[in-house]
Every structure is written in structure tokens, then in C-alpha cells.
Amino acid sequence: MPKIKKKTSQGISFHRHFQPPTALQRKKAMGSFPCQSEAKISREKMLQRCQQQRRSSVQEEGLETQNKNDQECFINHGLALSDLDDERLFIPTARSETSFATPKPKDELDWLAQVPEEGQTYEDYISFLVSRRGRMKPIANAEGLDILLLPIIRSEAEPLKRKGNYSHHLQDWEGPSMEHLVQYTQVFFDRQVRVLPAAQLSVSQPEDVTSSAKKRKTQLRESNKPGAFASKSKFKLYLPQRDGALTAPVPIAGREDPTSDRIQLKVDSLLDELSSYRLSGKHDSHNNNNTKEFCIMAITMIDLFDGPSDLFCAGMAFGGDKVAVFSFKRYHPLIKMHPLYWHNYGYAKTFDGYSYYEDDDQDPKGLSSHPSKISKELAIEFLRRSSKLLTHELGHLYGFDHCIHNRCLMMGTGHLVEDFRAPSNLCGICLRKLQFRTGCDIVERYKKLSDAFRKMGFVKEEVWTLKQHKHLKRIR
């Protein structure tokens, strides 16, 4: 992602090939009521099969990440098939955040100043998922239920335990609260979320350099090549297996700055291995019942990049393979980074909401190389940023394109400042897409979301969702 100026201009226009939708077009993007698609019958049968599979799975094995009350919630959970045809459920309260049109760019690097996005209506979404004969396409992974989260943690040495009961889980996780991410994602998509045992990344030590002069020369040469790739043999990834062991190591492309020992992993290299991993079924400890995972989402605090000139990359997904990987590294509330050199960043002592070095100070003093323990308020901000990233990208795996119609979680972003401004909730158009795909109870979902926001400390979001819930309870 690029850097933007801290002070932005109000005179920025949309991309010259982007035409913002009119009020009428935004209304029509919601689709017709009731839904006229021939896919409704296939959808209902698919969701009923999924519901039965979910009940069987919970009753037979229970949910590792939930307590008994949560298990009962899943067992007794009912489909709300008719919600799809109730227009009132998808219209937010007056002057609500998601009732406003997508905002005009404030900076020349903003999303819609750079990209002539086409957008996706509700009807477009149905066409993407459903064939002309009314059947769900394979890309929908319609029978897939569970969302699997795979933490990737850096190990200082190659893992010694390749066989037997590998139990390494989350003791070395340094990111936002995993418990809250799981609970929130589960409520957001109305799907069970399971956390796999952590994968481990080992980084081989650099070869010995015979002289200090040669070492300094090598470091200088490499540090001036921000796009240089390290050998694949440098980075080895060990993935958890269903038998409790680790897989044999697989090489991952990446780069390393020798002066700081900071690393970045090549995002498509990781995705290739995750695709093979999911296809192999080695991860599936639940393969004896009737459930099937929807996707594997790898999450990490290890930095990622895509192309040689990248400062960083938050992550990427292979939608057809239903795998993705995302890093929360640059979402830390105290991080400050150089606009050009990926390895040049540090952590401030105070929070100001801006993640880049100031324009007039490209060598700031007082930054630490590692983050210190953050306050409760900053932990909440870290969780807020990370939860939005996670749910936005999972939305893409469910087939949602970027939303151009309303202020919405599914809006695109061109940089971190714009990313952090995005709302946590779906607009009515994208919410109807989710309801078509999962059959969730819209009113109950708002209530559960408000509870999740309260537990996470998201005051503004809790108030918003409670307002929607009370409004819908009143009019139904």
C-alpha cells in the first residue's frame, strides 16, 4: 500500500472512468422484492442441507472454540429463508452510516480516485454464484460450512517435533485477541469458526562472512535493494496435520533486510502452498463427520509483500481455491513507517492515528524497533482494524466484490488511512448478498453483533447495531 499525505485536499475527483451511481441506481442495486431468481429453490435446499450438517457436527463433536451456551446456539439455530424477501430488513435507519453514498475521494491515492470500480449489484452476485439452470456454481463452495483460521507464527529455530502430538497453538501469538476475532467472525457470517494449530515459519541463519568489511559491503548493497528476493530456501513453513504432527517444510519466497533482520514473505508463494494444503486434506481433523470447511484463512503478524516495489501487502486471496492469507503487522496502532523502504519502520510511544513518517521528518527519533505493551484503548483499536480486515476479506471469499453504492465494509481502500476510516458493517445491498448465501436471521444477527461489539469494547459500533436491532424489532 502507498503512503498519503496527512493533510488531504477536498478537491479530488473520482477516477475519470468511474461514474458514481445515482440514488435510483443505488436503490435498484438492492434487487427486486420478493427475489425473482430461479435459484431460490436450489438455495433453500442447499441451506437446509448445511443446517442439518451443522447440527450433526455440533451434537457429535462439540465446538472447541465455544462454550456450552454457544454450542446450544448453533444446535438450535434456525434458518430465516423468508428474510431475503423482506425489503425492510435491508434499509438502515435514517441518516445511518450505511445509508450514505460512497464518499468522494479526499486524496489522489484514495481508492475511487485510482480505480474505475464497476461494483456489484445483488443481481450481479446471484449471477456470479448461480448457473442459468438455477444451480449453485462450484465457486460458491455451497456445501462448505466452517471457516478455518490458520495462525502463522515465526519460530526462531526449525521445529524439532515433526511427529507425534504437536500441541503448539497460540502461546506465541502477538496479534489482536484471537478469542474476539473468532467470536466476532462467527457472528458476522453466521458460521462456525475453528482455529487450527499454528503453522511455524523458520528463517535460516545467514551464511558466515569472512571479513567485517565484506559484511558491511554486503549489508549496504542488500539494504539498497528494497525489492530484492531472498532464496526460497531461506524461509521454511511447517503446517499442522490432523494427526497432530507437522508437515515436512515447504519453501516460501520472501526477502530479508540484513541490517535489521526484518523479513517479508511473498504473498502468492504462501497462497500456492495453502491451496495445496487445503486440497490435501491434511488439516482436517473433523473429516470423519459430514461437515466440510468453507475456506482456510491464514492470519499472521509476519509482514507480507506482493511485488518488488511494494512497501507491504496486507494480504491476498485465491477465491476459487478458497484460501487467503492476511497480515496484521501494519495495522498495529503505534507503527510508523517510511514511505519508500519496507524495512524502515518503528513503533511510537503515543497514538495519533497516522501510520507513516511525517512529510518533513523521514528519520524520526524515539521510535522503538519492537512494540511495547499497549493500553486497553489501543488494544481495542488494533482489534477494530484487524476485525474489519478479516471480515472484509472473508466477504471476498464469499463472492462479494467491492461496494460502490454505499458506505460499507466492502468498500475498497487505497491506503491505510482510508482503510481505517471504513465502517465495520455491511450496507443493505451487501447484507442481502450475505443473507442469500447463509440464510442468516437479520434481526438476530444485529443483536448478536451488538453483543460482540460490547465484548470487544467497540462503543460506536455497539450503539449502531443496537439501533438497527431495535428499529427492526419495532417495525416487524
9: number of Cβ within 10 Å? 10
d(CA 219, CA 228): 12
Helix (H) or strand (E) holding 389: helix 376-397
- Grid cell at residue 88: 425492510
d(CA 282, CA 363): 47
- Grid cell at residue 240: 499442522
Q: What is the pLDDT of residues 332-385, one digit of tens each?
A: 999 999 989 999 999 999 999 999 998 767 778 889 999 999 999 999 999 999
Give me the pLDDT at residue 78, please: 74
What does the chain come to in residues? Answer: 476
Sign of the CA dihedral with 214 first, then 204, 371, and 3 last: positive
- Grid cell at residue 316: 491476498
The answer for residues whose C-beta is within 8 angstroms of residue 276's C-beta and 6 or more apart is none
d(CA 465, CA 444): 11
Helices 459-475, 442-456: crossing angle, 10 deg rounding: 160
d(CA 370, CA 367): 9
Q: Where are the alpha helices (DSSP H) in 2-110?
A: 23-28, 40-61, 68-75
Give me the pLDDT at residue 62, please: 53
pLDDT in tens, the chain (476 residues): 666 666 555 679 999 999 999 999 999 999 999 998 888 888 998 999 888 887 776 666 554 444 555 544 554 567 899 999 999 999 999 888 899 999 999 999 999 999 999 999 999 999 999 998 888 999 999 888 999 999 999 987 677 555 555 555 677 899 999 999 999 999 999 999 999 999 999 998 765 545 555 555 455 444 445 555 556 779 999 999 988 889 999 999 999 998 888 999 999 999 999 999 999 988 875 554 445 899 999 999 999 999 998 999 999 999 999 999 999 999 999 999 998 999 999 999 999 999 999 876 777 888 999 999 999 999 999 999 999 999 999 999 999 999 999 999 999 999 999 999 999 999 999 999 999 999 999 999 999 999 999 999 999 999 999 999 999 999 88
Q: What is the pLDDT of residues 314-343, one digit of tens each?
A: 999 999 999 999 999 999 999 999 989 999
d(CA 295, CA 247): 19
Give me the pLDDT at residue 361, please: 74
Q: Where are the alpha helices (DSSP H) in 118-266?
A: 122-129, 178-189, 212-223
Distances (CA, A) of 91 to 12, 152, 428: 30, 39, 6
- Grid cell at residue 427: 450496507
178-182 CB contacts, 8 Å cutoff, 24+ apart: 178/149, 178/151, 179/65, 180/383, 180/387, 180/452, 180/455, 180/456, 181/149, 181/299, 181/383, 181/386, 181/387, 181/390, 182/65, 182/149
d(CA 265, CA 241): 22
d(CA 67, CA 303): 33
d(CA 219, CA 185): 43
3-state secondary structure 199-218: EEEEECCCCCCCCHHHHHHH
Task: For strands 250-257 and 262-266, give the pairing.
Answer: antiparallel
Burial class of residue 15 in the structure, from the number of CB atoms within 10 Å of its CB (0-12 exposed, 13-18 middle, 19+ buried): middle
d(CA 453, CA 448): 9
Sign of the CA dihedral with 185 first, then 189, 193, and 195 last: negative
Give me the pLDDT at residue 54, please: 78
